[in-house]
C-alpha cells in the first residue's frame, strides 16, 4: 500500500500539471484567435491612396450625401466650394451635420454619394488619408491635451512649427503672460486636463496649436470662440482673418458675431444647405439665418441686462 501511494501522488501531480497545461493552452488558443482576427482585418481601402498630395487652391463638395450605418441621412446633396484666401462658415442648430461635414473633409469617412474634388480635378478618395490630414490644421471644439510641458502640447503634431511661431501666437492671443508667470514658463509640466487653465485659455491654446504651421492648405476651426468673452473673441477673429491669405479656412460657428465678415456662410438644417451667401445677403432673405441672428441678438441683450 505504501509503495502504491508512493507512485500515486507523483502521478496525480503529473495529471494536475497536464490539466493546467490543457486549460492554459485553450486560453492561449482563444487569445491567439482574437489577436489573429484583429491582425487579419483588411486595411481601410478609403484611407489608402496617392502619396503625392497637391497644394490646395480650392476644394469642391459635389452632391455629397452621407449617413452612418443603420441611421438616416446626416448630409443630403451638399455642394459648395472652399477656396484658398477665403473664410467659409458653417452655421445652424446642433445636429445639422456641420461636424460630420468636417470629418468628411478630413477623410475620416467616405461619402455615400458624390465627390470631394481638389483643384477641380483630383478626387479626395484617391489620396492617402494620413498624408492628406498632414496638410490640414484642425482645432476641434474639445481639444485633447496630454501630460507634458506646455510647449510640447502646443508644438504637438506640427512638423513645420517653431518655438518662435509659438511665442508670436501666444502673445497675439494674450497667453504669454499666463504661461511665463508659471514656475518653468513654457516648460511647465501640465496634466492632461490642463485643469489650471480656464476654458477660454484652453480654447486659445488649442488655436495656437492649430495655427503654428504658417501655411496649412486648410484650417478647420470648430467653435473657435465658444468659451471666450467678446474682447478675446475679437482678437481671435482678427488673427484668423489675417491667417486666411494662403489658406482655405472653414469655421463651424454657433456665435454668428464671429463670422459676419466671412466670404461665404452656409446655413445647414437637417443635413441640407438651406441658404448660402454673405452676412448682409442672408439677412435680407429674412429666412433661417435671419432668425438665428435675431435670436442671438435677443440673447445677448438679455445677458447684458442681467449683468
Q: What is the pLDDT of residues 188-220, one digit of tens each?
A: 998 876 778 888 899 999 999 999 987 899 999
Q: What band does 37 get if pLDDT is binned at 50, 70 and 90?
A: very low
Domain locations along the chain: 2-41, 47-135+216-306, 142-211
CATH fold match for the domains 47-135+216-306 and 142-211: yes
Q: Which residue has the higher pLDDT, 15 or 208?
A: 208
Which residues are within 8 A (CB) of 277 and not within 5 positions of it... i.e. 6 or more apart?
264, 265, 285
* Position 40 pLDDT exceeds 50: no
Mean pLDDT of the chain: 83
Task: State the architecture of 47-135+216-306 in CATH terms.
Answer: 3-Layer(aba) Sandwich (3.40)
Q: Which residue has the higher pLDDT, 21 or 66?
A: 66
| Given 103, 223, 245, 280, the catalytic residue | 223
Mean pLDDT of the region 102-112: 94
Mean pLDDT of the region 159-188: 88
**What's the whole-model pTM score?**
0.80
Highest mean pLDDT among 29-33, 192-196, 200-204, 249-253: 249-253
| Cα(134)–Cα(254) distance, integer angstroms | 27
Q: Which residue has the higher pLDDT, 272 or 141?
A: 272
Q: Is 103 one of the catalytic residues?
A: no
Domain 142-211 fold: Rossmann fold (3.40.50)
| Cα(57)–Cα(135) distance, integer angstroms | 13
Amino acid at each position: 500500500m505504501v509503495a502504491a501511494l508512493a507512485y500515486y501522488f507523483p502521478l496525480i501531480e503529473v495529471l494536475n500539471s497536464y490539466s493546467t497545461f490543457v486549460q492554459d493552452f485553450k486560453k492561449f488558443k482563444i487569445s491567439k484567435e482574437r489577436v489573429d482576427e484583429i491582425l487579419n482585418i483588411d486595411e481601410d481601402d478609403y484611407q489608402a491612396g496617392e502619396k503625392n498630395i497637391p497644394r490646395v487652391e480650392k476644394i469642391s463638395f459635389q452632391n455629397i450625401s452621407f449617413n452612418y450605418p443603420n441611421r438616416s441621412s446626416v448630409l443630403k446633396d451638399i455642394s459648395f466650394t472652399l477656396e484658398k484666401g477665403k473664410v467659409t462658415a458653417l452655421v445652424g442648430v446642433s445636429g445639422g451635420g456641420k461636424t460630420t461635414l468636417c470629418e468628411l473633409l478630413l477623410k475620416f469617412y467616405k461619402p455615400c454619394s458624390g465627390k470631394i474634388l481638389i483643384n477641380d480635378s483630383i478626387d479626395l478618395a484617391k489620396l492617402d488619408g494620413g498624408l492628406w490630414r498632414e496638410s490640414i490644421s484642425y482645432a476641434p471644439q474639445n481639444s485633447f491635451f496630454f501630460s507634458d510641458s506646455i510647449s510640447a502640447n502646443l508644438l504637438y503634431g506640427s512638423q513645420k512649427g517653431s518655438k518662435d511661431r509659438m511665442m508670436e501666437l501666444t502673445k497675439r492671443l494674450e497667453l504669454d503672460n499666463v504661461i511665463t508667470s508659471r514656475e518653468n514658463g513654457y516648460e511647465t509640466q501640465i496634466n492632461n486636463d490642463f485643469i489650471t487653465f480656464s476654458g477660454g485659455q484652453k480654447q486659445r491654446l488649442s488655436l495656437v496649436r492649430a495655427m503654428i504651421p504658417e501655411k496649412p492648405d486648410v484650417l478647420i476651426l470648430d467653435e473657435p470662440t465658444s468659451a471666450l468673452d467678446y474682447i478675446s473673441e475679437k482678437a481671435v477673429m482678427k488673427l484668423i482673418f489675417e491667417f486666411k491669405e494662403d489658406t482655405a479656412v472653414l469655421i463651424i460657428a454657433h456665435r454668428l458675431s464671429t463670422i459676419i465678415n466671412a466670404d461665404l456662410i452656409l446655413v445647414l438644417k437637417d443635413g441640407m444647405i438651406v441658404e448660402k451667401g454673405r452676412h448682409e445677403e442672408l439677412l435680407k432673405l429674412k429666412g433661417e439665418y435671419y432668425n438665428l441672428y435675431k435670436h442671438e441678438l435677443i440673447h445677448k441683450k438679455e445677458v447684458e441686462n442681467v449683468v
